[in-house]
Structure 1
Amino acid sequence: MVAQQASKPSTRRRFTIRVPATSANIGPGFDVMGVSLTLFLTLSVSVPRDPPPRTFTTPNPQPQLSYTGEGSDEVPLDAYKNLTTRVALYVLRCNGIPSFPSGLELQCHNEIPFGRGLGSSGAAVIAGVLLGDALGQLGLDRNRMLDFALMVERHPDNVTAALMGGFVGSYLRELDAAATSAASVPLAEVLPEYPANAGEEWGIDPPSPPHGIGHYVRFGWAKEIRAVAIVPAFEVSTAKARSVLPTEYTRKDLVFNLQRLAVLTTALSRSPPDPELIYEAMKDRVHQPYRKELIPGLPQVLSSVTPSTHPGLLGICLSGAGPTILALAVSNYDSIAGAAAEVFKKFGVEVSWFVLDVTVEGSTLSEEE
C-alpha cells in the first residue's frame, strides 16, 4: 500500500478583487446619488506568502501588471503610474508599509468603458483601496476604506456606490479645521509621481485621511428595475463636464431639483414602479442642460424617449458626467436603447448599449484556498 503524500501549501497567496461600475446623479441627484451596476473591474492578485525583507537600499520592487478589456491600450502598466496601484501604495504607506511586496503579480480585466460616465476612475480607486488593505493585511472596515477613497476622489457618489453597492446617497461631512486641512491636500501630494517625488529614501509620509470624511445611506431599489446604459462612441472628461456648469443657480431651479430628488429616492423603491412618477422625478436643471453642448443629441434623446412612446421605460437621464445615457426600465430594454441610438445617429454619433442589473453586493475580495 502506497502512502498518500500530503500536498504542500502554496507558497503564494492568491485573491480576486471585483469592483462594479456605477452611474451617478440619477437625474436630480447631482453629486449625491449613485448606483452600482453589473459591469466590473476585476483584479487577480498573486503575492508570495513570505516575501523577502526589503530595506531602503534595495531597489523598489516593481509589480508585474497586465491589463485586458476596456482601456487596455491606454492604461499605464507601470505600477508607479497606474491609478489602482498608486492608490494601493498610498494606503500601504499611510499604514507604515513603504512599498509593494516583492514578487507581486496583478492581472486586471476591465468591462467598464473609460470616460463615459460609468465610474471607471472611481472603480480604479476603490480597487486600489481594497488592494492596499489586502496586501498590508490591514483589516480596514468599509467606512475607513471610504475615507481613503475620498482622499483621492473628492466626490462621494461614484466611489460610495462602487464600494458599498446598491442605490446610495452620500455627502461629505463638514470637518474641523485640522481634518479639513488634511482632506484638502492636493491630489499631487496624496498620490505623488512615485518614486521620483516620494522623498529621500521614501521618508515623506503621505497625509492620512481623517476619519469619517463621507457618510452614506442605502435606498431601496425595486426588483423589477433594470438599467440600460446607452454608450456613445466618444469620451467626455469629468473635468470638462464640470467646467461648463455655472457657479450660481436660480432658486427656481434648485427647488425643481430638490422636489424631484425627494420623490425619486422613494419612487425607485416601490413595487410595481410608477413610470409617470419616476419619469418626471428623474428630470434635472442643475447639470444636464449645461452639458448638452458636449453631447450632441442629448436634449433630443431625453425628450423623445418617454414612457408614453416606449412602454417599459421608467425614466431617462445622463449617467454621471456623460456621455452615457442611463435608462431605467422594466421591459423592452433593447427597443428603448435602439430608439436612443436612432436619435444619436441623426447627430452622427454611434452608440452601443448594455442591459444591466443593480448589484447590491458592492466591491468584493475573495481568497483562493
Structure 2
Amino acid sequence: MADGLKLRLPATSANLGPGFDALGLAMDFALEIEARESDLFSITSTGRNVAQTGDVDDSLVLETYRSVLDGQGIDPVPLHLDLHNEIPLGMGCGSSAAALVAGVMLASHFGNLGWSKHKVLTEASLREGHPDNVAACVLGGLTVSLMTAEGEVDALSIHPPVDWPLLVVMPDSSLSTKKARAMLPESYSKADTIANVQRVAMLTAAFAQGRGDLLSRAMEDRMHQPYRAPVCPLLPFLLPLAGSRGVLGVALSGAGPSVLLILESGHQEAAKDAVGMILRESGINAEVIVTTIFAV
C-alpha cells in the first residue's frame, strides 16, 4: 500500500492580456487534497463549489487519475480524497488545470509511475489542450510555455524581484472556456498580431526586471479581450484603472469572466476602494479576492 499524498495546487490566471495560450500566473489560493488508498472511491469536500468537487461520479480529479493509469495498463486503486477547494469553477482561475494536475500526480504516486515534474506538466497540458494554466500550476510564478505539434511542452518560470499584490474580481455568473473560445475569430490582422507580440515580449521582460511601470501598456491585448468583452461585463469598467490608484495592469483572468489586477506593493486598499466604487456605480455584483503571486 502506497503512503498517502498531500497536494496543494494553486489557482492560475492565464494570458495576462497579450500572452494568449502562452503566459500563466500562479496565485496564492488553491485546491488542497489529502489522498489515501481506500476500499471505494470517495470524497469529503469543503470550500467552494462543494456539490461539484465532492461528486465522485463527476470528479475531474478522479477521472484523470483513472484515465492516466488505464492508459498505462494499471488497475487504479480506489482512493479517498479529503479535498478543500478555494478555486471558483468557471471563473477563469484555472480550476480545471488544478484538477488535471492533481489527477496526474495522484496517478504517478499511487500507480508508482515515478513521473518527473516535466512529465506531469506535459500529461496535464495535453489533457487541457494548452499549457498556460498547467505550467503556472506546476511551476509557480509567471510561466512562459509552448506546446509542439508532437505534444511536447517546454515551460519556464519567472519570479519578479518585487512584491506585486493581486486582486481577482469575480462577477456572479461563470463562463465556460468552450463558449469563450467560440467568440474568437479564425484569423487576425498583421497589425494586431504585431501589437500582441510586442506587448507579450515587453510583459515578460517587465516581470523579469520588476518593472511595474511597464505593465499598464504591456498588458494591452488585441487578440481575445475585445471579442470576449460582451460576455465579461467587468472588463470595460476595470480596464481604465490600469496605471492609476496603485493598479499596475489589468487583464481578463484566463478566458474570463473574472478580471485580474496587478498592484503596486502597499496599494491594496486604494485599489480595492477604486474597484468597489466602480462596482457600485456600474451596478455589477462581484467578489474581490486579495491575493499574491504563488511561488512553488
Residue in 2 aligned with 1:294?
A: 231
Q: In 1, Cα distance between the equivalents of 2:254 and 2:2? A: 39
Matches within 5 A, 1:235-274: 235-271=174-210, 273-274=211-212
Q: In 2, Cα distance between the equivalents of 1:36 and 1:143? A: 17
Matches within 5 A, 1:340-351: 340-351=275-286
Q: How many residues align?
A: 295
Deviates more, 1:19-28 or 1:345-354: 345-354
Aligned residue identity for 1:306: A
Q: 135, 145, 150: which one pairs with 2:120?
A: 145
Residue in 2 aligned with 1:196?
A: none
Which of the pair is proportionally richer in strand? 2
Aligned residue identity for 1:37: M
| Offset at residue 12 of structure 1 (A) | 7.8
Residue in 1 aligned with 2:15?
A: 25
Residue in 2 aligned with 1:306?
A: 242
Residue in 2 aligned with 1:328?
A: 262
1:35 aligns with 2:28: no
Residue in 1 aligned with 2:252?
A: 318
- Superimposed CA distance per residue, residues 209-235 of structure 1 (whole angstroms, 9 cap, x where no aligned partner): xxx621112234233212211122221
Q: In 2, Cα distance between the equivalents of 1:62 and 1:347? A: 49
Residue in 2 aligned with 1:173?
A: 148
Which of the pair is proportionally richer in helix? 2
Provide the alpha-carbon RMSD of the alignment. 1.8
Q: In 2, Cα distance between the equivalents of 1:297 and 1:140? A: 40
Q: In 2, Cα distance between the equivalents of 1:256 and 1:318? A: 17
Aligned residue identity for 2:261: A
| Offset at residue 265 of structure 1 (A) | 0.4
Q: In 2, Cα distance between the equivalents of 1:12 and 1:134? A: 8
**Matched position secondary structure for 2:149:** coil
Aligned residue identity for 1:153: E
**Matched position secondary structure for 1:73:** helix
**Matched position secondary structure for 2:168:** strand
Residue in 2 aligned with 1:182?
A: none
Residue in 2 aligned with 1:367?
A: none
Q: In 1, Cα distance between the equivalents of 2:118 and 2:5? A: 22
Residue in 2 aligned with 1:221?
A: 160
1:100 aligns with 2:37: no
Q: In 2, Cα distance between the equivalents of 1:326 and 1:299? A: 13
- Superimposed CA distance per residue, residues 154-202 of structure 1 (whole angstroms, 9 cap, x where no aligned partner): 0110011101222111111122xxxxxxxxxxxxxxxxxxxxxxxxxxx
Q: In 2, Cα distance between the equivalents of 1:140 and 1:220? A: 25
| Offset at residue 152 of structure 1 (A) | 1.4
Residue in 2 aligned with 1:280?
A: 217
Matches within 5 A, 1:127-146: 127-146=102-121
Given that 2:6 and 2:34 are in contact with CA atoms closer than 8 Å, whether structure 1 keeps it comes out as: yes
Residue in 2 aligned with 1:75?
A: 53
Q: In 1, Cα distance between the equivalents of 2:52 and 2:16? A: 28
Specify whether residues 148 and 99 from structure 1 end up closer, same or farther in structure 2 by C-alpha distance, changes over 3 A only.
same
Residue in 1 aligned with 2:84?
A: 109
Given that 1:170 and 1:215 are in contact with CA atoms closer than 8 Å, whether structure 2 keeps it comes out as: yes
Given that 1:220 and 1:266 are in contact with CA atoms closer than 8 Å, whether structure 2 keeps it comes out as: no
- Superimposed CA distance per residue, residues 242-281 of structure 1 (whole angstroms, 9 cap, x where no aligned partner): 111111111111111111111110112224x342x21111
| Offset at residue 133 of structure 1 (A) | 0.9
Residue in 2 aligned with 1:90?
A: 67
| Offset at residue 16 of structure 1 (A) | 0.8
| Offset at residue 294 of structure 1 (A) | 0.2
Task: Identify unmatched segments of 5+ residues in structure 2.
Answer: none
Q: Percent identity?
A: 34
**Matched position secondary structure for 1:32:** strand
Aligned residue identity for 1:321: A
**Matched position secondary structure for 1:30:** strand
Q: In 1, Cα distance between the equivalents of 2:101 and 2:135? A: 9
- Superimposed CA distance per residue, residues 278-313 of structure 1 (whole angstroms, 9 cap, x where no aligned partner): 11111111111111110224213102x132x31x22
| Offset at residue 76 of structure 1 (A) | 5.2
Specify whether residues 12 and 143 from structure 1 end up closer, same or farther in structure 2 by C-alpha distance, changes over 3 A only.
closer
Specify whether residues 353 and 222 from structure 1 end up closer, same or farther in structure 2 by C-alpha distance, changes over 3 A only.
farther
Residue in 2 aligned with 1:233?
A: 172
Given that 2:26 and 2:295 are in contact with CA atoms closer than 8 Å, whether structure 1 keeps it comes out as: yes
TM-score by length of 1: 0.76
Q: In 1, Cα distance between the equivalents of 2:2 and 2:205? A: 47
TM-score by length of 2: 0.93
Task: Identify unmatched segments of 5+ residues in structure 1.
Answer: 1-10, 49-60, 176-211, 362-369
Residue in 2 aligned with 1:66?
A: 44
Q: In 1, Cα distance between the equivalents of 2:234 and 2:55? A: 36
Aligned residue identity for 1:244: M
Given that 1:296 and 1:347 are in contact with CA atoms closer than 8 Å, whether structure 2 keeps it comes out as: no
**Matched position secondary structure for 1:269:** helix
